[in-house]
Structure 1
C-alpha cells in the first residue's frame, strides 16, 4: 500500500508535516471570514479575549506537530512507535476540541487532519522491524547517490 522506498519514520514525519500544514491552512482560511481580521485586531475573537495564556496554548498546539515531525525522524522504532500511538490520538482530540462549532470549511479541514492522524496511528500500530532487505536497499541508494 505504501511506497516501500520510504521508512516508517519518514512516512510518520510526512504525515505530521501534512497535518501541520492543514492546521495552518485552516487558520489562514479563517482570516478570510468577514469580520475576523477586525476581531483579531480588537483582541477578542468570538467573544473570547485573547490573553497571553491563550497565546501560549496556541503556540504549544502549533509546536506539537512540528516536534512530532522531527521526533518521528530521529527516535528509535520502539519509542517512536509508542509516542505516535499516544500523540496522534491526542492531536485528534485537540482537532475536535478546537472545532466544536465548525462551519463547512472547518469540517473539510478537520476530516483531512483526522484521516492523516488515523493513518499515522495505523502505521505506528502495524510497524514491524524493518527487514534486512529494506536496509540493504537504503544503503545501496545512499551509495549510489554519493557516487554520482
Structure 2
C-alpha cells in the first residue's frame, strides 16, 4: 500500500467517524427541541406517548442510541472489512430507528433528514473502504513480471 492509499483510507475513516458525531448531535438536539414543543414534556411525564414505556423498551431505545455513539470510535479502529460491514449495518439500523421513532413536527423532520443524509454518506464512505484482496488477486500480483529498466 502506498502513502496515497493510506491517506485515502484514513480520510474515509475520519469522515465516517465525524459523520457519526454529526448524527449524534442531531439526534440529541432533535430531542431537546422536541421537548420545547408545548405539552411534550407533560405528555412524557404522564406517560402519554402512544405506547407503554416499559423498562425493556427503554433499554431497547438505549441500545439503539448507543450504536451511533460506539460507531464514532469503532469506525476508526476496525479493520476495513469489519468497518465496511458494521458501518453499513449500523447506518441502516439507525436510519430505520430515526425514521420510525420520530414525530411529524417540522423540527424533527428537519433533524431526521440531516441524520438520514449523514447515514447515507456513512454507508457510501464505508462501501469505498478497500476490500480485502482475494487469493486470486494475490496470486496474480505475485506472477507479475517486473518491467525492464
The number of aligned residues is 125
Task: Find the partner of 2:79 among 67, 72, 76.
Answer: 76
Gaps of 5+ in 1: 130-148
Q: What's the counterpart of residue 18 of structure 2?
A: 14
Q: 1:128: Cα distance to partner?
A: 3.0
TM-score (norm 1): 0.76
- 1:56-135 to structure 2, matched below 5 A, reads 56-99=59-102, 101-128=103-130
Distance, in Å, in 2 between the alignment partners of 1:90 and 1:5 is 24
Residues 16, 65 of structure 1: 8 Å contact kept: yes
The runs of 4+ residues in structure 1 deviating greater than 4 Å are: 3-6
Q: 1:6: Cα distance to partner?
A: 5.4
TM-score (norm 2): 0.75
Q: CA RMSD in A?
A: 2.0
* Greater Cα shift, 46-55 or 77-86: 46-55
